[in-house]
Structure 1
Amino acid sequence: MDRPLVALILAGGTGTRLYPASRSDRPKQFQSFGRDRSLLAETVERAGFADETYVLTREDYVEGVRDRAPGAAILTEPEPKDTGPALAYAAYKIREQVGDCVLLVLPSDHRIEGDFEDVARTATDAAVETEGVVTLGIEPDRPATGYGYIKPGAAEDGYNRVDAFHEKPDRETATEYVEDGFYWNAGMFAWTPEAFLAATEGTPLEELVEGFEESPADAFAAVDPVSVDYAVLERADNVYVVPADVEWDDLGSWDALERVLDSEDGNAVLGDHVSIDSEGNVLASDGHVSVVSVSDLVVASFDDRTLVLPKAQAQRVREVVSELRATGEF
């Protein structure tokens, strides 16, 4: 492949499901969660084989990105409108600044172990060869209900056509998907800017892209928030999946941290703690937490905020954040 490979790292979200560790002024990607470096810094290093690295973020996070990714170019989206508008804007701007290239799109909140470069190069080669849009699929190790699924179709050279995308299922359906050889949709992609922008034709992003030439800010103001999956991938004809043979985890919620944190006294622990007759909990703080005779809880305490909820209902943190946003306290 003779086109430059550009890693595009998405770092504009806050990570609301990891409240109170994540807040509007200290998003998830700037934190380390028990490691030596932030999630963003780890992602930039993981993409170190790329010819250039861009980080797409929001204006409020620019200085934090510079501190954690000093060698990367920074793009700021006009306003947060989910991944569809963000990725269309990035493709437009990078084509303008770099020219003929291929993009490797990576969220900034994943933990990955294994030969990621080999998988990534297979995906970017496929993107150039097919002139389509390519997603990386993770082979499931459990019937997870928190991820979307990809049904692979006909096999090509190192990739498959995508037969269908499926939204987050219930457990019974997820079990069927795993048994049938579906992949998790990890939100990692490869495409050329030309191919992706062409794929927005006839989608909710078409008018947005047409408006970039005149005013990106006005174009963003007129578009509704929409995910790239719904806006483009689920509608396009030339979509492919590359199986990613790596150890992968999306640190999207407190129960996910249980899979990556050290276990102490039968609990997943980040920070100082005392546990008495308690197990199966996620105990996370920037200070100290103590628990007695409890199980299967999330107890997270950061700064002046504390969150307690059943581990099985970790997704409901969003409800807390919605209330706090309504009162300006997030």
Structure 2
Amino acid sequence: MNKTAIQVSPVIIAGGSGTRLWPLSRAGYPKQFLVLHGDQSLFQQAASRLAGLAGNDIEVAAPCIVGNEEHRFLVLEQLRELALPNGAAASLLLEPAGRNTAPAMTIAALRAVEAGADPVLVVTPADQTVTSEPAFTQAMQQAIRVAADGKIVLLGIKPDRPETGFGYIRADDIGDGAQKVAQFVEKPDLATAERYVANGSYYWNAGMFVVRASVWLQALREFRPDIADGCDAAWAVKTADASFIRPGKAEFARIPSESVDYAVLEKCPGSNAFDIRMVPLDAGWSDLGAWDAVWQVSDKDGAGNASVGDAMVSASSNTLVHASSRLVGVVGLDNVIVIETADAVLVADRARSQEVKQIVGQLEKNKRSEHTLHRLVHRPWGWYDSIDSGPRFQVKRIMVKPGASLSLQKHHHRAEHWIVVSGTAEVTNGDQVMILTENQSTYIPLGQIHRLANPGKVPLEIIEVQSGSYLGEDDIVRYEDTYGRG
């Protein structure tokens, strides 16, 4: 370690459900883990960008990721795919409940100072993209150097259009490259947004900021001691296992829910105690907050159409078509979004794509599962795809990764038939353990303790046929589980 270098701890806030990108983004597999631009997920892009911030005077530690329990194995798997030099040492802080970004940021700061260190925290959401990584690196390194002197530094996006969906930062240029933040402004109406763009002193608030851990904790205690005390209490009773750190559940649930902006940042302009600055970022930034934003950053044909997957577009313009599981044909549509998945299709006016969240609200109100899970559901051991169902039966295609296994379990209401399609299966069926290969099968009676494992070097795929009076995922009793699930 270079003792004269600035020590940086990247913090990735990876909560959120991305409801405006339904049906591709769902609560169980939200937008930060999707590949929407480029060939990496938005979370992977964030982790890769932050790992690339090292310089002659800057050392970057392993990332700290704040997310929720449900997505913990997604985070691990996507970090593994990236193969970052320090990715395996990442800290995963699992929030017991959603409490917005201020508590999330605070537990990351408490983690950073735990061993007596005081690194510069580079905080970014997990669900944004940039088209120029060198420009991002240059701006962020400048912010790190300013924050190392005790200042709070925001990244501000120079607006290229009058956007009503973002908050704005008004900055005063004081000549050293890190402008003084004069004011935070809420999301404006169109006329006000047009004035902001014409003025030149207003920037979009990208939700990225840089600050020493001790400065953040000091500012939070100054402006919101209730949140600071609650986070201290939850952190004091944290538990840790493998890669996961969990603050106290009951203590965390009592913390007020608040954003970093409302809790601290918006109170800093005019404060004598906290110097807040802004570094402009011109790197092709987008938060991909709705399907219209995805269309804007996508490659397009001569008529402005963008397509993903098996899509055919004719006599249309400025349209986005995203086909996930089948051929989608579009004729004579202008300024329209068409998103197809295995179990849902969205068709929307591109200018009204923000309103997709209303459909998600209806699904939730009607207690439908399409807002939560895809038909194909990822698990730490692999995935399953529910390919057919009817009265008293369900058919699944199941993939188990090499060396992985499902939990030792039983079901009260269903029996199962397993047929191996490819690979090698190690099957525990009551007292019997057997090896099955392609085209071989077995029957698991109702109430029988069983387990499926892949002892081989290639993925295992089976077809599972369930039959019984109740086929819900909650009909499961686990006796032993590699992944710590109850």
Is TM > 0.5 for Structure 1 vs Structure 2? yes
Matched AA of 1:27: P
Task: Work out whether residues 59 and 76 of structure 1, in 8 Å CA contact, stay in contact via their aligned partners in 2.
Answer: yes
- Whether 1:144 aligns to 2:163 is yes
Q: Which runs of 5+ in 1 are unaligned?
A: none
Q: 1:213 to 1:259 in 2, by over 3 A?
A: closer
Aligned amino acid, residue 263 of structure 1? K
- Match of residue 254 from structure 2: 222
Q: 2:76 aligns with which of 61, 66, 73?
A: 66
* Paired AA for residue 174 in structure 1: A
Distance 1:127 1:179 in 2: 30
Would you identify which runs of 4 or more consecutive aligned residues in structure 1 move more than 3 Å?
212-216
Q: Secondary structure at the match of 2:26?
A: coil
Structure 1 residue matching 2:129: 3-state secondary structure: strand
Partner of 1:128: 148
2:182 partner SS:
strand
Q: Which runs of 5 or more residues in structure 2 are unaligned?
A: 55-59, 81-86, 238-247, 372-486
In 2, Cα distance between equivalents of 1:245 and 1:274: 34
Give the aligned partner of residue 291 of structure 2.
Answer: 254
Residues 162-220 of structure 1: per-residue CA shift (max 9 Å, x gap) = 11111111121111111112111111110111111111133263443343354443332
Other structure's SS at 2:113 match: helix
SS of residue matched to 2:40: coil
**Distance (whole Å) between structure 2 residues aligned to residue 29 and residue 41 of structure 1:** 8
> Once the two structures are superposed, what CA deviation does each residue of 1:116-156 show, in whole Å capped at 9, x if it has no partner?
22211211221121x23211011111111121110002525
Q: Which SS does the other structure have where 1:62 is aligned?
A: helix
1:211 to 220, 233, 244: 233
Q: Are the equivalent residues in 2 in contact too, given 1:91–1:196 (CA < 8 A)?
A: yes
Cα pair 1:3 1:100 within 8 Å, conserved: no
Distance of 1:86 and 1:5 partners within structure 2: 18
Give secondary structure in 1 for the equivalent of 2:334.
Answer: coil
Matching residue of 1:30: 33
State the distance in 1 between where 2:37 and 2:143 align.
30
Q: How many residues are treated as equivalent by the alignment?
A: 329
| Contact 2:166–2:187 (Cα < 8 Å) also in 1 | yes
Change (3 A) 1:328 1:207: farther
Between 1:306-315 and 1:29-38, the stretch displaced more is 29-38
1:167 aligns with 2:183: no
Q: Which structure is higher in helix share?
A: 1
Aligned-CA RMSD value: 2.0
- Report sequence identity in percent: 35
Query: How is 1:11-22 mapped onto 2 (pairs within 5 angstroms)?
Result: 11-22=14-25
Query: Contact 1:273–1:283 (CA<8 Å) still a contact in 2?
Result: yes
The 3-state SS of whatever aligns with 1:12 is coil
The answer to whether structure 1 residue 52 and structure 2 residue 62 are counterparts is yes
**2:328 aligned partner:** 289
Residues of 2 paired with 1:142 and 1:34: CA distance? 21
Q: Identify the match of residue 157 of structure 1 among 176, 185, 202.
A: 176
Structure 1 segment 239-318 matched on structure 2, within 5 A: 239-264=276-301, 265-287=303-325, 288-318=327-357
> Residues 213, 20 of structure 1: CA spacing in aligned structure 2 closer, same or farther, 3 A cutoff?
closer
Larger Rg: 2
**Is residue 121–residue 212 contact of structure 2 (8 Å, CA) maintained in 1?**
yes
2:437 corresponds to which residue? none
What amino acid maps onto 1:285 in structure 2? A
| CA deviations over 1:283-317 (Å, ceiling 9, x no partner) | 11213322222221211111201112211111111
Shift in Å, 1:87:
1.0
Partner of 1:116: 136
Equivalents in 2 of 1:261, 1:188: separation in Å? 23
For 2:25, the aligned partner's letter is S
2:208 matched residue in structure 1: 188
Correspondence for 1:5 among 8, 20, 23: 8
Q: Distance in 2 between matches of 1:255 and 1:143?
A: 15
The CA distance in 2 between the partners of 1:98 and 1:282, in whole Å, is 50
- Aligned to 1:218, the other structure's residue is in SS state helix
The one of the two structures with greater contact order (alpha-carbon pairs below 8 A, sep at least 6) is 1
TM-score (norm 2): 0.64
User: CA distance change for structure 1 residues 266 and 180 in 2, over 3 Å: closer, same or farther?
Assistant: closer
Paired AA for residue 86 in structure 1: A
